[in-house]
Structure 1
Amino acid sequence: MSVLVLGGTAEARALAAELHGWDFHVVSSLAGRVARPRLPVGEVRVGGFGGVDGLAAWLREHDVQAVVDATHPFAERIGANAFAAAEQTGVPLLRLERPGWQQGEDDHWHWAHDLAEAATLLPGLGRRVFLTSGRQGLAAFASLDELWFLIRCVDPPEPPLPPHREVLLDRGPYEVDSERALITEHRIDLLVTKDSGGEMTAAKLTAARELGVPVVVVRRPPRPATTVAADVTEAVEWVLHR
C-alpha cells in the first residue's frame, strides 16, 4: 500500500516512521520552504505538485491508496489542494492536526484572525515584541516603527521587515528556562504567536504566563471538512483500516 504524507511537521515525521515500521510504502512530501529541513525516514520529495490537477495526476501515477495531510495548521493552500485532489481521484484523505493551545486562567491572551489584525493590536499592548509567527507574513508588522521586535524564525526572513528589530535564527523544541531567560534579557513585554499547538514551541507561553507578559495569538485558518486525527496513533489506525 502506498501512502502520501504531506508534512514537514514533527507529527508527519513520526507518522512516516510508524508506517515504515508496518512496511507501507510511504512518500513524505515537503514544501521546500526551509533550507535544512528535518527529514523523515523513507522516500522524500521536495516541492509543489503544480496545484490540484498536478497533485491528482501524481496520486494516479504513483497508485496512492491514502493521503495524510500532516502539514502545519497554517498551511492553507496545500490543505485545500489535498482536499480537492482527493475528491477528484477518490483517494481517502485524513487530516492529522495537533490540537490548538488552550488559554489558562493566568494567561493574558488577545486573539486575532490573521497577522494583519494582530499588527493592529500591538501598539496598545507593548513596546518590545517577541515575534514568533515565522518568516512568512512579516510585512504585516513592517510599518510599526515605534516598536522594537525580536523576530525568531528558522531561516533568514526577507523584507519588508520592522525597522527596529533583531533576528534570531533558531528552531525548537524550546525549554521554559531558556524562553524565560530570552524574554527577560530582551525586556520583552509582548509575545506574538500563531496557534500552532504542540509541545515543541509551547514553552514560550509558559514563560510568558510566569512573567505576566501578554500574548497575541493568531487563530487557525479554516480547513476543508474531512476526517481528522488528533495524534499519530489515530492516524496509523486510520491507515491500517484502509
Structure 2
Amino acid sequence: MHLLILGGTTEARRLAELLADAPTPGLRVTTSLAGRVAAPRLPPGEVRVGGFGGADGLAAWLREHAVDLLIDATHPFAGTISFNAARAAATAHVPLLALRRPGWTPVEGDTWHDAASLEEAARLLPGLGRRVFLTTGRMGLAAFAGLDGLWFLVRSVDAPGAPHPARMETLLDRGPFTLEGERAVLRRHRIDVVVTKDSGGAATAPKLTAAREAGLPVVVVRRPPAPDGVPVVSTPEEALRAVRDAYARHPAARGGTPAVPEGG
C-alpha cells in the first residue's frame, strides 16, 4: 500500500513520524514538499520536493506511483494545492483525506480585527498602529508595500524578496515559538499591532497570548475556502487511525502483493 502525504506542516511531519515509529510491513509512505523553504525539516520516510504541475500532473503521479491513499496535510492557506488534490484524487480514483488543524478562536481580552485577505489587512492597519509585527510569512508582502507611514517587523523562515514595505526589519526564525520569546519580541520592537493568518495550531499561537497580555490589536486573516466533500481530521493521530483502517482493507494486510509500478 502506497500512502502519499502532501506535507510541509508540523502535522504532516508528525504523521510521518508516527508511521515511522511503528512501521507496517507492506506500507510505503512518501511525503511531498512544495520546495518553497530553502532548508525544510524533512520527515522520515521517502520525500519528494517540488510541484506536480497542477491537478492533472498530480493525478498522473498518483497513477504512475500506484498511490492507494492521498492525505492533504498542507498549510491551511495553501488553498490551490488542496483543490488540485481533490481534483486529482477524483480523476485517479484515489481516496483523499484532509488533515487540517482547527483555526484559532478569540478569548476574553482579545482585540481581533477580521480580514478576508492580506490586502484587507493592509487597509485596516493605518487606523490600528504604526509599528507592525507581520507574521504572515514572506509571501504576499506586496500587499503592505504602499504603507510608507508604518514600520514593519517581518518574521519568516527565509529572507523575503521585493516588493515589500519600505520601512522593514526582517526576523528570520522558525516556530514553534514560546510565550516568553513572543513577549520579548513585542517589547524589544515596541510593537503596537500584530498581523497574522488564521493558521491554527500551537506552534505559533503564543503571539496571540502575548498580544492579549499587552492589550494589542491583532488583525487575523481568514482562511481561504477548502474543497467540499473531502473527509477531514484535525490531528495526526486521527489521520494515523484512518491510514490503519485503509491498510486493514488493503491486500497487503492479508498477505497479498500490492501492485508496484515498473521501476518502483
TM range (shorter): over 0.9
Q: CA deviation at 1:238?
A: 1.2
Q: Does 1:35 align with 2:35?
A: no
Cα deviation, 1:59-95, whole Å, max 9, x if unaligned, reads 0111100000000000011111100000101100000
Name the amino acid aligned to 1:26.
Answer: V
Match of residue 240 from structure 1 = 244
Distance 1:132 1:153 in 2: 7
Residue 155 of structure 1 corresponds to which residue in structure 2? 158
> What displacement does 1:124 show?
0.4
- Name 1:90's counterpart in structure 2: 93
- 1:173 counterpart (166, 172, 176): 176
1:139 aligns with 2:142: yes
1:57 paired to 2:65: no
Alpha-carbon separation, structure 2, partners of 1:136 and 1:195: 15
Identity over aligned residues, as a percent? 63
**Paired position in structure 1 for 2:18:** 18
Runs of 4+ in 1 over 6 A off after TM superposition: none
What residue in structure 1 maps to residue 214 of structure 2? 211
1:183 aligns with 2:186: yes
Query: SS of the residue aligned with 1:163?
Result: coil
- The aligned counterpart of 2:260 is none
| Structure-1 residue corresponding to 2:6 | 6
Tell me the CA shift for residue 190 of structure 1. 0.1
Q: Distance in 1 between matches of 2:151 and 2:141?
A: 13
Instruction: Report the alpha carbon displacement of residue 22 of structure 1 after superposing the two structures with TM.
Output: 3.6
- From 54, 57, 77, the counterpart of 1:74: 77
TM-score by length of 1: 0.99
Tell me the C-alpha RMSD between the 2 structures.
0.7
CA distance in 1, matches of 2:245, 2:39: 34
Larger Rg: 2
Distance in 2 (alpha carbons) for counterparts of 1:238 and 1:120: 42
Equivalent position of 1:230 in the other structure? 234
TM-score under structure 2 length normalisation? 0.90
Matched residues, number: 242
Question: Following superposition of structure 1 onto structure 2, how do residues 87-126 of structure 1 map, counting pairs within 5 Å?
Answer: 87-126=90-129
**C-alpha distance in 1 between matches for 2:233 and 2:151:** 39
How far does residue 50 in structure 1 lie from its aligned partner after superposition? 1.0
* Bigger mean CA deviation after superposition, 18-27 or 160-169: 18-27
